[in-house]
Amino acid sequence: MNFRIEKDTLGEVKVPADKLWGAQTQRSKENFVIGTEKMPHEVVKGLVLLKKSAAIVNNKLGQLSKEKTDAIVQASQEILEGKWNDQFPLVVWQTGSGTQTNMNVNEVIAKRANQLLMEKDIKEIIHPNDDVNMSQSSNDTFPTALHIAAVLSVENYLLPPLKQLKNTFHQKVQEFADVVKIGRTHLQDATPLTLGQEISAWHHMLEKSERMIVESVDYMKELAIGGTAVGTGLNAHEKFGDMVTEEISYFSNSHFVSATNKFHALTSRDQIVYAHGALKALAADLMKVGNDVRWLASGPRSGIGEITIPENEPGSSIMPGKVNPTQSEALTMVATQVMGNDVTIGIAASQGNFQLNVFMPVIIYNFLQSCRLLADSIRSFNENCAVGIQPNYQNIKYHLDNSLMLVTALSPHIGYENAAKIAKVAHQEGSTLKEAALKSGFLTEEQFNQYVDPSKMIHPTK
């Protein structure tokens, strides 16, 4: 392998000749051989978007030449378009401020920008710290990129499939509005409802989760840029933070604002904790939905079997013909991962010592993983399971007709205790509810048929 010599404040470093990064990236690559988890590219893109915006603003403020600005902007745009994805090799497990990833971005942009200047025979030299990192510190750039990455991932990646599943459930609510079935509480028989009503709970869960997520994301739209090292804004123009935030909003097609208190913006990660809490709430709802679906589809002959779901693949390597609720299993496994990520994020966010939180890489890694897994699993569950849910009318009717909890409809007419006696007799003797009711002498057959009508038990008394 061919190498070139790069220098930083600690001295010379050998860097592979075909790489755009410099000395500080190479040092991090060699000093942190920990795990396989790479810094998410969403974070890199957030930093690059910031560098592009900062160069434009520094030029407007008269601090960066047009030639350097144009080169930095073009190099940044190439990265944003995915041209140099292989130039960002650093792992999550590095400095907790993300300084090394910030410098990785600075070095790659500077190297590529200098190549562009050479192609135009422009003699200026772009420095990764002095020019690309002008008016910035890793302490305000990384939390800024963290928020950009988190916001855009939620808005562009998670919310669309969430809307799709929500719409699927809405259609099922309407489609199965008249399918009366038995309800269940404590995994025991309860009073009737419709399959549409049952699914309406799933639909409303997603509606609520969507609103909570959107509301929580607004808090992450405050950006730390302009605070520099400790929040004072040293070495940055007083208008720098506001102006950069405007550029970021324009390029990202999202509305970001400059944090009013930069000291808070550098040291506290409460906003992303709050936002991930909304993701955890969604995960909890998805756990319930996934479990409901696999319970209701259990069987095919020894379970509840009140709905059917698509048969996507063989379910067993030993039992021929077996088909399992695999989409529910994938969805619920993702839910457990998101819940675990929430613990990590909460603990990491508590480590804001004095003017800086130094657990930021692990925070954003876990947040983006939750966002990505939720989006992918929701999309998969919707396309491969939810859209294909259908009632098993035979089993629904059997369970409804044989449920002892239809006796609840008799309570207003013969009293709770008498109704309970009827249910107990039916259960002990293995008779139908109607047989036990007529045997009790508390009411006539005509009265029983009038009172015990499941179709009249799915709404409040009129």
Distance, CA of 138 to chain centre: 26
Specify whether 316 is catalytic: yes
Specify whether 186 is catalytic: yes
Q: What angle do CA 141, 147, 152 make, to 5 degrees?
A: 125
Q: What angle do CA 230, 43, 265 make, to 5 degrees?
A: 25
What is the residue-wise DSSP string for 204-226?
HHHHHHHHHHHHHHHHTTEE-TT
How far apart CA 322 and CA 275 sit, in angstroms, is 40
Strand partners, 38: 91
Q: Which residue among 76, 298, 316, 377 is the active-site one?
A: 316
How far apart CA 418 and CA 440 sit, in angstroms, is 9
Q: What angle do CA 130, 134, 137 make, to 5 degrees?
A: 105
How far apart CA 426 and CA 197 sit, in angstroms, is 28
Closest-CA residue to 97 (of 228, 275, 258): 228
In the chain the first and final C-alpha atoms are separated, in Å, by: 83
Strand partners, 12: 7
Helix axis angle, 433-440 to 416-429, nearest 10°: 120
Closest-CA residue to 42 (of 101, 94, 96, 2): 101
Element (H, E) at 14: strand 11-16
Q: Which residue among 76, 135, 138, 186 is the active-site one?
A: 186
Q: What angle do CA 41, 47, 51 make, to 5 degrees?
A: 140
How far apart CA 66 and CA 126 sit, in angstroms, is 12
Closest-CA residue to 202 (of 310, 325, 284, 278): 284
Q: Which residues are catalytic?
A: 186, 316
